[in-house]
Amino acid sequence: MNILTWLWRFYCALAAKRRSRLVLGDLSAHQLKDIGISEAEARREAAVPFWR
């Protein structure tokens, strides 16, 4: 695998994490309860920088 392919896959993984965290931050209290996550946990996870 060349470096450009690796970089692209790495970028895509980071972007997917960021999108998931943004969606998590937009869920309602009822939706969060359905998946077993508190509002505080969701806010904390949504605030994590994209590189983590």
How would DSSP label each residue in the chain?
A: --HHHHHHHHHHHHHHHHHHHHHHHH--HHHHHHHT--HHHHHHHHTS-TT-
Is 52 a member of any domain? no
Which one has a higher pLDDT value, 5 or 49? 5
The predicted model scores a pTM of 0.71
- Domain with 21, as residue range(s), is 3-46
Per-residue tokens: 44: 């904390």
**Domain count along the chain:** 1
Residues 25-46 have a mean pLDDT of 93
Is 7 a member of any domain? yes
pLDDT band at residue 51 using 50, 70 and 90 as cut-offs: confident
Closest by Cα among 20, 24, 22 to 32:
24
Distance from C-alpha of 3 to C-alpha of 30, rounded to nearest angstrom: 43
pLDDT band at residue 35 using 50, 70 and 90 as cut-offs: very high
**Is 46 within 8 Å of 22 (Cβ atoms)?**
yes
